[in-house]
């Protein structure tokens, strides 16, 4: 079932995600004791607001850009053990609807990683609009969700001598989005 709620914060039209001012990041527990953080580039996307105020979101990410600050780990993440970037060169998110309450919204949609599509809900905060130095009207958003690696077929792991596993199943995902209103 898809519900649609009016968005009053953005004017109707297409708001294109600006990849150079937007970021997708993740945090995963390593060895049960530390957190590893990384980023994946958002290559394109848009928020489309209709005249009646309903809105949808779509975005494409490039897993070949994964960066955790460690080249060896990044290389491993790109292999068949994890993201298998040669076979699955893009990740996508497409919303079904946006439910808005004040400055916060729930954005349910379909997230596709590693060729597997799962429903997720982005808990989203609208950060407002501003006109940049070049006259572009921009809107800002922050969003978070938690996903299971296993739900996306990402099952590689290693058992630890003291018990437990090297990489947790739970992954926290955070997005910082800057979108530009198109003429």
**pLDDT > 70: what percent of the chain?**
95
Give 46's pLDDT tier (boundaries 50, 70, 90).
very high
35 pLDDT higher than 70: yes
In this structure, what DSSP letter does residue 159 have?
Answer: B
CATH number, residue 26: 2.40.128.110
pLDDT at residue 105, as a whole number:
87
Listed in sequence order, the residues at least 6 apart from 82 whose beta carbon sits closer than 8 Å to its beta carbon are: 76, 114, 154, 156
Give 10's pLDDT tier (boundaries 50, 70, 90).
confident
CB 89 within 8 A of CB 76: no
Whether residue 89 lies inside any domain: the answer is yes
pLDDT at residue 53, as a whole number:
80
> What's this model's pTM, rounded to 2 decimal places?
0.88
Segments forming the whole domain that contains residue 108: 13-181
Query: What is d(CA 155, CA 140) in angstroms, rounded to the nearest whole number?
Result: 34
3-state secondary structure 35-56: EEEEEEEEEEEEEEECCCCCEE
Number of structural domains found in the chain: 1
The residue count for the chain: 183
Whether residue 110 lies inside any domain: the answer is yes
Cα dihedral 142, 145, 149, 153, rounded to 10, equals -90
pLDDT at residue 6, as a whole number:
39
pLDDT at residue 8, as a whole number:
45
**For 74-127, what is each residue's pLDDT tens digit?**
999 999 999 999 999 999 999 978 887 777 789 999 999 999 999 999 999 999
CB 182 within 8 A of CB 136: no
């Amino acid at each position: 079932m898809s519900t649609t709620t009016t968005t009053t914060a953005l004017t109707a039209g297409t708001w294109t995600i600006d990849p150079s001012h937007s970021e997708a990041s993740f945090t995963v527990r390593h060895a049960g004791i530390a957190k590893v953080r990384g980023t994946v580039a958002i290559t394109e996307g848009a928020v489309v607001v209709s005249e009646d105020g309903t809105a949808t979101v779509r975005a494409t990410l490039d897993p070949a850009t994964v960066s955790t600050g460690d080249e060896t780990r990044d290389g491993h993440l790109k292999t068949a053990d994890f993201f298998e970037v040669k076979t699955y060169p893009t990740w996508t998110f497409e919303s079904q609807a946006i439910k808005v309450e004040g400055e916060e919204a729930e954005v349910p949609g379909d997230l596709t990683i590693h060729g597997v599509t799962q429903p997720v809900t982005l808990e989203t905060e609208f950060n407002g609009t501003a006109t940049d130095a070049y006259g572009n009207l921009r809107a800002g958003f922050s969003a978070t969700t938690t996903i299971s690696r296993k739900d996306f077929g990402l099952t590689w792991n290693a058992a630890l001598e003291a018990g437990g596993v090297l990489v947790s199943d739970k992954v926290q995902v955070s997005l910082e989005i800057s979108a530009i209103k198109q003429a």
